[in-house]
Amino acid sequence: MSIRPMSAKTYRRLLNVSLRKEPATAWFKDVYYLNVYTGQVEKGHIYLAGERIAYVGDQEPLVDGQTMIIELDEEQVLVPGYIEPHAHPFQWYNPLTWGEHLLKQGTTVSVNDNMFLLRSMGDREAMQFIEELDSRGQHLWLWWARFDGQTGTDRHEARFSEESVKKWLAHPLVIQGGEFTSWPRLLKGDEELADWVRMTRQIFGKRIEGHLPGASSETLNALAAAGVGADHEALNGEDVLKRLRLGLYVSIRYSSIRPDLPAILQEIKEMPGINPARLMLTNDGSMPFFVDQSGCPQMVRMVLEAGFAPEEAYRMVTLNPATYYGLDQELGGIAPGRLAHFNVLNGLENPQPIHVMVDGEWVVREGKRLHAVSGEWLTRYFRPVSKNISLEAEDLKRGQGEVGLELSNEVITRPYTYHPHDPLHDDEAYMSLVDRQGKWVLNTRVKGFAGSTLSGLASTYTSVEHYLLIGRDHKRMLQALHQALEQGGGIAACFDGGEELNIPLPLGGGMSLAPMSELKRLNEQFIQKMRAHGHPYQDPVYSLLFFTATHLPFVRVTSEGVYLVKEQQVVTPVTLLV
């Protein structure tokens, strides 16, 4: 697979520079570099023809006055640019801010979820967006093509069609199908979904990544047979081993809700003979407060501290993901023909790069980003949410059922029963899902999200296009919604005693143009405030996001009603308002 096709002229220049018939554009002069193919640190000359490596070896290149000559200190070593194999680039930050942040960590490539694009715009505009992002930015954003909306409702799933899936899979920046959350439908005989999976593998020749938490060996067997090639939901070393035995690649997570990596690494080290060539590392869409802890440098350091050899650790963020995605002739190593993505390190024991090069150009020097890209153009694609919604506090009391949602951790919710006329318990609140056009509302209760001092919270940041309200006072919940809409989208909350918290997310109601440092500050402030008011877990933002996502057990709020995931049953329908 080629993601940067060469013209005939560029191709000839690459060959001629390699043959020393034309001058190199850049020359790394007699430097130490990690050869991820042999596992050795070698010393030699590396020279470039534009964005690609032309030569690696003992011979010096032909140079002229335009050749950039680069000499490294004796203790410094060159490694390939890092690859994040599983990203969700819409977690308050936008894809551009995400890519800019990754570059400073030496992660030059990320493979990204297209879900927010599917929710926000049509296919044509979405593809214009990923192409403009590619042309403006210096990070390399690759994408995946979703098969479903992980909402379990017909209204949202109608967005997914064979025509749409084909368009995405045909795009050169799209390199896989998935993440595949609707696999239970496949195993139950959904013929349309089976056609899409087969099409992805056999017609487009692209990978399929699963989403397989708790899957048995029998389920993994069936999905591997169907074409799933990797999974990021291993919860322990045994889960990793089950997947490896069946030929799957495994992305091990270190995320804000699943910081499993250190424990899993220790378990794997105790399994003699495990081949780490099919292991990758991911932060799986961490929230802003966690991104500095979960970048590729931090994860590589954890692998080194667990006792893995340096070449094994670095392969997990370079060669292994490149090989999995069929891009190992483009990325993941320092060899002729590859794109010139390099990190300069102060030794392999220090994975945080000093300098970063992408496509033959320095993008980070001495840890500082060069020529950062403005994101104002993003407002053409992601617009503020509408302020116009007709809703009364009494609407938040209508049609309450008797099944609520109880948080077991940040993202797992279990059903519980209540009587609509019963007073709220201290850890209980009202919950409403509101149609963004005010056409319907779903009213229920939630336990375990906050204590008795949360008056009202509203969020346009959900896994669907609708608005989530939580609180113990219906009027304050409605006030919070109007505040969130007034700022173009985001989260607004008010507490007993007059405390308030506002997080503007005016890009489509879920993202901001603010730098990562500011989003980190807001994220930490939100967590501290929610924990002070009774939230018992580490990441309440993911709770808000996933209350509406049916790819997780056991009960969710959807545009059709309170939905039991395993039973695929609506137990409390929405109430129509117009």
> DSSP letters along 235-251, please?
-SHHHHHHHHHTT-EEE
- pLDDT surpasses 60 at 104: yes
Helices (H), 310-448: 310-315, 319-324
CA distance 335 to 57: 10
- pLDDT surpasses 70 at 170: yes
State the pLDDT confidence band at 157, using cuts at 50, 70 and 90. Answer: low
Per-residue model confidence (pLDDT) at position 357:
99
Fold of 82-341+365-380: TIM Barrel (3.20.20)
- In terms of residues, how long is the chain? 578
- Contact at 8 Å (CB) between 333 and 318? yes
Per-residue model confidence (pLDDT) at position 1:
74
Q: Name residue 142's amino acid.
A: L
Integer CA distances (angstroms), 568 to 152, 158, 176, 210, 442, in order: 8, 17, 27, 20, 17
State the pLDDT confidence band at 476, using cuts at 50, 70 and 90. Answer: very high
- Contact at 8 Å (CB) between 145 and 114? yes
CA distance 255 to 178: 19
CA distance 527 to 418: 28
Phi, psi (degrees; rounded to nearest 5) at 462: -140, 180
- Contact at 8 Å (CB) between 556 and 412? no
Q: Which two tokens stand for residue 403?
A: 């099944």
Q: Which two tokens stand for residue 30?
A: 């007699």
Task: Report the pLDDT averaged over residues 487-495.
Answer: 98
CA distance 468 to 466: 7
The torsion region of residue 210 among left (phi > 0), alpha (psi -120 to 50) and beta comes to: beta
Bridge partners of 208?
Answer: 177
Cβ contacts of 565 within 8 Å, gap of 6 or more: 152, 550, 552, 553, 554, 555, 556
Task: Report the pLDDT averaged over residues 444-472.
Answer: 98
CA distance 173 to 223: 25
Per-residue model confidence (pLDDT) at position 569:
95
Bridge partners of 98?
Answer: none
Phi, psi (degrees; rounded to nearest 5) at 146: -70, 150
CA distance 238 to 296: 23
Cβ contacts of 407 within 8 Å, gap of 6 or more: 413, 446, 447, 448, 449, 536, 537, 543
The CA-to-CA distance between both ends of the chain, in Å, stands at 51
Phi, psi (degrees; rounded to nearest 5) at 23: -70, 145
- pLDDT surpasses 60 at 455: yes
Q: Number of C-alpha atoms within 13 angstroms, CB side, residue 515?
A: 7
CA distance 55 to 420: 72
- pLDDT surpasses 80 at 110: yes
CA distance 416 to 402: 8
Cβ contacts of 505 within 8 Å, gap of 6 or more: 92, 460, 461, 488, 489, 490, 491, 511, 512
Per-residue model confidence (pLDDT) at position 159:
79
- pLDDT surpasses 60 at 155: no
Note the pLDDT tens digit of each residue in 295-311.
Answer: 999 999 999 999 999 99
Nearest to 112 by CA among 91, 83, 86: 86
- Contact at 8 Å (CB) between 164 and 400? no
CA distance 94 to 376: 11
Q: Element (H or E) spanning 207, and its range?
A: strand 207-210
Task: Report the pLDDT averaged over residues 541-562.
Answer: 95
Note the pLDDT tens digit of each residue in 428-442.
Answer: 999 999 999 999 999
CA distance 468 to 492: 11
Note the pLDDT tens digit of each residue in 173-186.
Answer: 999 999 999 999 99
- pLDDT surpasses 80 at 151: no
Nearest to 221 by CA among 183, 178, 258, 195: 183
Per-residue model confidence (pLDDT) at position 149:
84
Q: Name residue 377's amino acid.
A: W
Break the chain into its structural domains and give their ranges.
82-341+365-380, 393-576
Burial class (CB in 10 A: 0-12, 13-18, 19+), 533: buried
Q: For all residues of the chain together, what is the average pLDDT?
A: 97
Task: Report the pLDDT averaged over residues 48-57.
Answer: 99
Note the pLDDT tens digit of each residue in 324-365.
Answer: 999 999 999 999 999 999 999 999 999 999 999 999 999 999
What angle (nearest 5°) sits at the alpha carbon of residue 471, between those of residues 469 and 475? 85
Share of the chain above pLDDT 70, in %: 99
